[in-house]
Amino acid sequence: MAKVLNPDICVIGGGAAGLSVAAGAAAFGVPVVLVERARMGGDCLNFGCVPSKTLIAASKHAQAIRAAEEFGITAGEPIVDYERLQARVHAVIGAIAPHDSAERFESLGVKVIADTARFVDDRTVAAGDHLIRARRFVIATGSSPAVPAIPGLAETPYLTNETLFDLKRLPEHLVIVGAGPVGLEMAQAHRRLGARVTVIDSGKALSSGDPELVAIVLDAIRAEGTVLHEETAIQSVERHAGGVRLHCKNTQGRFFLDGSDLLLAAGRAPNHVSLDLDAAGIRHDVKGIAIGTDLRTSNRRVYAIGDAAGGLQFTHVANYHARLALQQILFRLPAREDRDIIPRVTFTDPELAEVGLGQADAREKFGRVDVVCWDFSANDRARTDGLGQGLIKITVGRRGRILGAAIAGAGAGEMINGFALAVANRLTLKHFRGYVAPYPTLSEIGKQASISYYAPVARNPLVRSVIGMLRYFG
């Protein structure tokens, strides 16, 4: 006989979004049931952010050894022990895992059920031998790697982010399908570790980014030896000579490409097929669960957050969604998702970071806008550290309001924080002009860009006349 549970909140999914909701609700003494069928911590901990950034960090060390000669230090080509590197990746995962574990959440007062959840009706979820009837449900089931419909792929071995970090050897020639953030991050990391790397995309690389800033990133990646085929169709794929062969076509014609390993990085698909959402009256499609700006589904008892809701797929978005959901569930306070305040970062080297509106979108929404630019070459810290090319672009509205910012360059992911704060709080360039930045730091780039916006004031005849008059009075 099924055990009936009546918590205040039932969370489906133990990734970043679900864990944030469960922990937040439990902190206020609210009864919570959390259902997770796989590993606690979800994609971010086990297959995504944590292992990928650990691998990227290792690759940066390898590249620093190569670049040491520019600083008068001779080190030679780095020797990469890939098996030890992967052991470190899993050690980092293991060090973080207890924080996301079922044991920790049970200690917080959360009832954790390790099973698959499915809706029985509009207010009941079944999970194993439990029936859960909660006041509110939160779907936070995340997403999985999308597998493109390429002829022959089903018969050809391939990797995704869920299997890439189990490799014990460095790929000889890694072929990556997809030139988005994940594809290019892994391309550059593996190239720096010593693999040959080729990336193929049916469209433009980093297509959603500012073209001028994207070009800075792509030039750097290509300069290190990664081959990038944009606007190239993959007509079929097959096993070949112990590896894979891709048959491709672009404007130059047909060609084939041989590699030792194939990595799919062509987007992600939401994990909601097994939930039986129709039974709960929840609208959905292959892109995700339909939600309003308040994150509620067509069933008003149910919220969908994080990757499950489609849209921006970042861990920080999952945490943001969790806060909005809790605000409504616990305190009955209205909350609305604002995607303009969400920063987006691609962790290549140089990094690409954006927040708010770009020039075109801002003009469509507000009419006349200005764009302020400042080059990294004008920054002393960028010069001392040999950081290469970089550029910041700030979209500015009336009275200097910061509508958005985009940065390509070293440390862009850290630098964008200040602009994310500005966009979220409707700050102006005057706020950036007025604060004191320590010297020498990369943060001065944003401040100098802000100062340049007001530079024309110094050439204003009226302002100069006032200054002259004040000088006359001593």
Q: From the annotation, which residues make up the binding site for FAD?
A: 53, 141-143, 307
- Nearest-10 crossing angle of helices 16-27, 315-331: 30
CA 392 to chain centre: 19
Helix (H, G, I), strand (E, B) or coil at 421: helix
- β-sheet bridge partners, residue 374: 392
Encoded tokens for 415:
């630098």
Burial zone of 290 (CB within 10 Å; 0-12 exposed, 13-18 middle, 19+ buried): middle
- β-sheet bridge partners, residue 150: none
What separation, in Å, do the N-terminal and C-terminal C-alpha atoms of the chain show?
93
Closest CA to 150 of 230, 242, 245: 245
Q: What is the number of other CB atoms lying within 10 angstroms of the CB of residue 273?
A: 11
25: Cβ–Cβ under 8 A, 6 or more apart, which residues? 8, 9, 32, 326, 329, 330
List residues forming the annotated binding site. 53, 141-143, 178-185, 267, 307
What does the alpha-carbon distance between residue 220 and residue 184 come to, in Å, rounded to a whole number?
Answer: 11
- Is the separation of the CB atoms in 403 and 366 below 8 Å? yes
What does the alpha-carbon distance between residue 235 and residue 251 come to, in Å, rounded to a whole number?
Answer: 14
As separate numbers, helices (DSSP H) first and strands (DSSP E) second, the chain gives 14, 25
List residues forming the annotated binding site for NAD(+). 178-185, 267
Element holding 310 (H helix, E strand): none
Tokens 């894979």 label which residue?
244
What count of residues does the chain have? 474
Any alpha helices (H) in 272-358, and if so which ranges? 315-331
- In which order are the strands placed within the sheet that holds 233-240? 233-240, 243-250, 253-259
Q: What is the number of other CB atoms lying within 10 angstroms of the CB of residue 67?
A: 13
CA 21 to chain centre: 20
What does the alpha-carbon distance between residue 445 and residue 188 come to, in Å, rounded to a whole number?
Answer: 26
- Return phi, psi of residue 304, to 5°: -125, 130
